[in-house]
Chain A
Amino acid sequence: MKERAISIMLLVAALGALLALALITYFVFQSGLPLILEVGLWNFLSGTTWNPTADPPQFGLLPMIVGSLWLTVGSLVIGVPLGIAVAVFMVELAPPRLAQFMRPAIQLLAGIPSVIYGFIGLTILAPLLRSTFGGPGLSVLTGAIILGIMILPSIIAISEDAIRAVPRSLRDGALALGETHWQVISGIIIPTARSGIVASVILGMGRALGETMAVIMMIGNALIIPYSPLQPATTLTSNIGLELAYATGAHRDALFATGVVLFVLIMLLNGIATAFVRRPAFSRRGT
């Protein structure tokens, strides 16, 4: 029957996303896992030297792991307080006209291509940092500041949803009991919205971990383990993006192996975030 056929076709379509995920997992793992097994997972993750074209080649991922960590933490330090503050502002403090104006502005911030952010970091922020603090200017700090701004819209949007979802009754009740507005926000609203806010942070973390081109432009890509934010570093993503074009043989496999590590890391994070909250796309608009 025609209905049956349509039903099956739709099922096939729905399986498409699952199939794509399976394909991606298969191919990336198939290309990268053998090298991890050959080098040894622990050696791979903890090795401090990355010299893929030497004889014998050395594949140590530690500088990149630390670089990714530094950069992600740094961008969260900058993006999270700012993002939550703006989310609170949009819901609780902003005059409605201002909020209406800010919302499309934040949307624009969200849509700006990441390479433009990287460009600003490269041409404006890096020279500024160089003249202020010395050093090459291309550093973890440069990346953290720009990435922090880049993840702002996601944090704002999801936190806003979470804050908005706090029942008005809780809010009004507390106000009626004589609490100041800020006491209500800090004592009731934010704690109640906590799981949504945390989800937004984790999603922002995923975005910062996954960014590639902008990071290549801003972070200097030195293969050291940075101990100061003013030093250049490399991330898991930027190393893949930088070296993939020229890599062959074991070198290329090592980059796919890096991809495997990155993939696992981000899937873990996303799993945690999804466990917290599932965000509807429409609820924040229009109010």
Chain B
Amino acid sequence: MNAQQKQRFAFASIWTAAMLTMVLLTLIVGIIMVRGLPSVTWEFLTGTPEDLGREGGILPTILGTVALGLVALLIATPLGIGSAIYLTEYTHTSRLTRAIRFGTESLAGVPSIIFGLFGFIFFVNYLQMGWSILAGGLTLALMVLPTIIRTAEEAIMTVPQAYRDVSYSLGATRWEMVTTAVLPSALPGIVTGVILSFGRAVSETAAVIFTAGTALNLPVSPFSPVRTMAVHFYILAVEGISLEKAYATGAVLIITILLINIGANMLVNRVIAKRGK
């Protein structure tokens, strides 16, 4: 084969790969949506499950998902932004910062079942929280912390040095500089990371089952066990309770992720646009 033929072959393969990926995506999303959307009615979204989920809706699971996500973000966001601020504005590279970075990167790589194990031993049993929104939310917070730290750090680092210099020249303390000059500018980037972390919390299953439990009731307190949509989908699907409701729950999950991605992208585009100025 000469060079031209090789190129044609290579490019044909690459185009095939790209189209195959698109086809696979369409298939996966399509099957769930086509079989699931028809069952996603207002009653489905606001009703409670009956007959273990064969009938009725998924309101408790929606609430459970939101509750877990909120708790996780309420804990991880201040921690994450604080870490990012410290790492970027308050220190220079040192043994300590390297250790912190190592901790963050390692945490990012821990598999979800290990988080589930840890959350089960530590939050559910040792701290006696039982299977609860708190235990689940705390575990999820640890899982999304690295992402928030990473995105916040990058957002802060892209703030032009000029902003800081101006602030200092006006007599601001470091904290004042951070809160008035850096954070507002870095905010869209930070919020993007938070939104994406919420997506991660929505999709997570292994860690959630062993920390927040599987009870189908409407949560009444931070110590209530909850079932998230992802867990509900898993149980419906695996136990053959109702394929129809499984597909419907799956469709709601995909729509949620889609909305989260769209939100994050809109914010990122704002960041890019501002950077261009």
Binding site for B on A (CB under 8 A): 2-3, 6-7, 9-24, 27-28, 31, 81-82, 85-86, 88-90, 93-94, 102, 104-109, 111-120, 122-124, 149, 152, 179-183, 185-186, 206, 209-213, 216-217, 237, 240-241, 244-245, 255-256, 259, 262-263, 266-267, 269-270, 274, 280-282, 285-286
Those of B179-236 within 8 Å (CB) of chain A: 189, 193, 199, 202-206, 209-210, 230, 233-234
**Contact residue among A104, A179, A182, A241 (Cβ-Cβ distance under 8 Å from B113):** A241
Question: Would A112 and B203 count as touching, CB distance under 8 A?
Answer: yes
Q: Are A107 and B261 in contact, CB atoms less than 8 angstroms apart? A: yes
Q: Which of A111, A181, A217 lies in contact with B238, CB distance below 8 A?
A: A217
Give me 27 A-to-B residue pairs in the complex whose CB atoms sit less than 8 angstroms apart, sorted by A's number. Answer: A9-B82, A16-B145, A18-B100, A21-B110, A23-B122, A24-B107, A24-B142, A111-B199, A113-B204, A116-B32, A116-B250, A116-B253, A119-B246, A123-B237, A180-B4, A180-B6, A212-B111, A212-B113, A213-B206, A213-B234, A237-B111, A237-B113, A262-B111, A270-B109, A281-B154, A281-B193, A286-B269
Given contacts A21-B107, A82-B21, A266-B109, contact A186 B10 (CB under 8 A): yes
Are A102 and B22 in contact (CB-based, < 8 A)?
Answer: yes
Mark B residues whose CB is within 8 Å of A: 3-4, 6-7, 10-11, 13-15, 17-18, 20-22, 24-25, 28-29, 31-32, 78-80, 82-83, 85-87, 90, 99-100, 102-118, 120-122, 126, 142, 145-146, 149-151, 154-155, 158, 173-175, 189, 193, 199, 202-206, 209-210, 230, 233-234, 237-238, 243, 246, 250, 253-254, 257-258, 260-261, 265, 268-269, 271-272
Q: Are B31 and A124 in contact (CB under 8 A)?
A: yes
Which of A94, A216, A267 meets B106, CB within 8 Å? A267
**Do B253 and A113 touch across chains, with their CB atoms under 8 A apart?**
yes
Report chain A residues within 8 Å CB of B150: 281
Q: With A9-B82, A10-B85 known to touch, is A274 a contact of B105 (CB < 8 Å)?
A: yes
Residues of B within 8 A of A240 (CB): 113, 117
Q: Chain A residue with minimal CB distance to B146? A: A17
- Enumerate chain A residues within 8 angstroms of B204, measured Cβ to Cβ: 113
Whether A120 lies near B31 (C-beta < 8 A) is: yes
Minimum Cβ distance to chain A for residue B208 (Å): 10
Instruction: Tell me whether B114 and A259 are in contact (CB under 8 A).
Output: yes
The 8 closest A-B pairs by CB, nearest first: A210-B111, A13-B82, A18-B103, A270-B109, A85-B17, A113-B203, A182-B7, A10-B86
- Which residues of chain B come closer than 8 Å to A270, judged between CB atoms? 105-106, 108-109
In the bound complex, CA of A113 to CA of B233 (Å): 10
Q: Is the CB of B25 within 8 A of A109?
A: yes
16 further contact pairs, Cβ within 8 A, besides A19-B103, A109-B24: A20-B107, A28-B118, A94-B18, A108-B258, A111-B199, A113-B202, A115-B205, A118-B237, A119-B233, A119-B246, A212-B116, A212-B205, A255-B117, A256-B121, A269-B109, A270-B106
